[in-house]
Amino acid sequence: MSTLVKNEGEFDASFPVKGKDFADAGLVSSKIKQRLMKKGISEIAIRRAAIVIFEAEVNIISYARKGIIRYYTTTDSIIIEAIDEGPGIADIELAMQEGYSTADDAIREMGFGAGMGLSNIKRYSDDSEISSVIGKGTYLRSVIKI
């Protein structure tokens, strides 16, 4: 997986995400959205960041045992990282296609798993990267210009 750009202590905030905890889906994105609002970041950038974070959060909850979402801001960007301990993604290119999903019926019945998560992350990011190791997990980094 990719080398992280910052050291753990340099992030504005870091939030754990528990796998299969659908009751808390959206909690991390809401917390980060509030923090970004307090910094006076534009509504458009905050909305884009919230979408990216929500999609990453739901992917961790849906597929991984656990993960972490962290972010930091620079003078011109919001940088988001999502790192999970899960099964990994066998074919990232395929997983990036709109509508492609490996969600089971239980996830779909809750209204998740439509296959838009990774494509939405890419769409709402100015730059993004994803890497994955089967049996270990997935690393996602997204940059949103402010």
> Domain ranges in the chain?
13-145
Global pTM value: 0.90
Q: Which two tokens stand for residue 73?
A: 């801001």
pLDDT score for 108:
83
Question: CA–CA distance from 65 to each of 20, 21, 138 (Å)?
Answer: 8, 10, 11
Q: What is the mean pLDDT of the chain?
A: 92
Whether the Cβ atoms of residue 132 and residue 84 lie closer than 8 Å to each other: no
pLDDT at 1 over 50: no
φ/ψ (deg, to 5) at 119 = -70, -35
Task: Report the residue count for the chain.
Answer: 146
* pLDDT, mean of residues 106-110: 86
pLDDT score for 8:
53
Superfamily classification of domain 13-145: Histidine kinase-like ATPase, C-terminal domain (3.30.565.10)
For residue 99, is it left (φ>0), alpha (ψ between -120 and 50) or beta?
A: left
